[in-house]
Amino acid sequence: MSQKSHTHAQWSSRVAFLLAAVGSSVGLGNIWKFPYMTGESGGGAFVLVYLICIALIGLPILMSEWMLGRLGQKNPMSTMQQISGRLKRSPAWALVGLAGILGAYLILSFYSVIGGWALAYVKYAVTNTFGGLDNDSVGGLFGGLLESPTALLGWHSVFMIMTVGVVIGGVAGGLERAAKTLMPALGILLLVMVLYAATTPGFAEGASYLLMPDLSKLTGETVLAALGHAFFTLSLGMGIMMAYGSYLSDDVNIGRTAVVVAVMDTVIALMAGLAIFPIVFSNGLDAAAGPGLIFQTLPLAFGQMSGGWFFGILFFVLLVFAAWTSSISLLEPIVEWLEEKSPLSRTGATIAAGLATWALGIATVLSFNLWSGVHPLGVFAMFEGKTIFDLLDYLTSKIMLPLTGLATIIFVGWYMQRDELRTQLNMSSGAFSVWYAISRFITPIGVAAVFIFGLLH
């Protein structure tokens, strides 16, 4: 990938683009967040709403972001500025790009802390800490990590340095090449975990918990969570996919590529769920354990299965890798923006952005220990008991991403010319009509309805 968006650089190949898009989308969202949200939201009903959100909301917005980026050929803010200018619309549309950059900053601040947990678990795996763990001691291991501000801060710092290191050097070299082997490896290892889970007594219960919707469990909160996660998991509403689209050549079929990315992302998330919930039920663990869910269930499995030491190392290394390819995609737009809007060089901008994100991450580190009792907006009923980490997660996933996504799809569906969209998407007229109708009506109404219903729940 080029370092400067305005040079009209392009991906070296379609595969390189696909890899970068999958690298950004497949991450902690799939393996850490999706299972714990499913567990907190009562299982299959959440999954069903999530799948509907991916298909009817995530997919059209993913296509829209790539298309806007390819038309604008600039950073997200300038792209929105330029296209809205050409269509004689308000320059305020550039704010959509700016909101995305802010969202990326807030998300990366806590994403890096969780990436640090994964790093800590690589160490535990290597030192064979999982061997012989039981239900209580897995909780103790995780709780011990969370209790220590210095340990969390140390791992968060290492993860941030890894992220900055890659972004300084440009993404093109090693990471892209490594992703080509490591991402498929992650898929295969998840399959191994699912097969292992299938041998545990709780498999049927776990699988049906994930896949059988109990609609009585649906609440406004659950639906809003599913919507927010659809944005988070596909890296939408942050200008990231728009920036990736700006390096895209005209012969890439946006619709087909978007379907591939969305399907791969979804399959990885479902496999993570299928690996985790059977272990939860087999061992009488709590499905609603929250952010610690995978860090408690999987070590238990690794401690019991044969070859568990090896698989444990492999799994957490691959998890770090998935998180890493996502975190560089979160840092990139902040750096690009800083570089263009300030006198800083690329290196200076990367270090400044990394430091600023690292500093905000300290608030998340402390949310799990010294500040676990600090609930800044606790006076409002909807924020009761929420730590700073909880609030950052809420603000980004449930408010900022849906609103930016809504603005994007309204812009594309209602302000852009039908013919231009048709040419860009290069679909058959039947498929295009379906896409156009969904993008104009179902997607925006869906986002708006879920958003309002979820906030009022």
For residues 30-59, which are near Na ion according to CB under 5 A?
30
Q: Which is nearer to Na ion, 268 or 305 (CB)?
A: 268
Residue 233 binds Na ion (CB under 5 A): yes
* Dihedral of alpha carbons 297, 298, 299, 302, sign: positive
Burial letters 11-37, b for 16+ CB under 10 A, else e: beeeebbbbbbbbbbbbbbbbbbbbbb
Q: Which is nearer to Na ion, 233 or 327 (CB)?
A: 233
Q: Which stretch binds ligand PHE (CB under 6 A): 181-189, 214-222, 227-235, 413-421?
A: 227-235
Side-chain-side CA neighbours of residue 425 (13 Å): 30
Report, in angstroms and rounded to the nearest whole number, the Rg of the chain calculated over CA atoms: 21
For residues 290-349, which are near ligand PHE according to CB under 6 A?
326, 329-330
Residue 27 binds ligand PHE (CB under 6 A): yes
Q: Name the residue type at position 192.
A: V
Residue 248 binds ligand PHE (CB under 6 A): no
Of 5, 22, 29, 71, which lies in the binding site for ligand PHE, with binding defined by CB under 6 A? 29
Binding partner at 283 among Na ion, ligand PHE, none, C-beta below 5 to 8 Å by kind? none
Q: Name the residue type at position 160.
A: M
Phi, psi of 101 (to 5 degrees): -65, -40
Residue 29 binds Na ion (CB under 5 A): yes
Q: Which stretch binds ligand PHE (CB under 6 A): 131-139, 209-217, 233-241, 429-437?
A: 233-241
Q: Which stretch binds ligand PHE (CB under 6 A): 19-27, 78-86, 201-209, 444-452?
A: 19-27
Residues 6+ apart with CB under 8 A from 435: 60, 63, 255, 425, 427
Residue 28 binds ligand PHE (CB under 6 A): yes
Residue 107 binds ligand PHE (CB under 6 A): yes
Q: Name the residue type at position 320.
A: V
Q: Which is nearer to ligand PHE, 233 or 350 (CB)?
A: 233
Residue by residue, DSSP assigns 260-314 as HHHHHHHHHHHHHHHHHHHHHHHTT--TT-GGGHHHHHHHHHHHHSTTHHHHHHH
Given the rule CB under 6 A, which residues bind ligand PHE?
A: 24-25, 27-30, 107, 232-233, 235, 238, 240, 326, 329-330
Q: List residues binding Na ion (CB under 5 A).
A: 25, 29-30, 233, 265
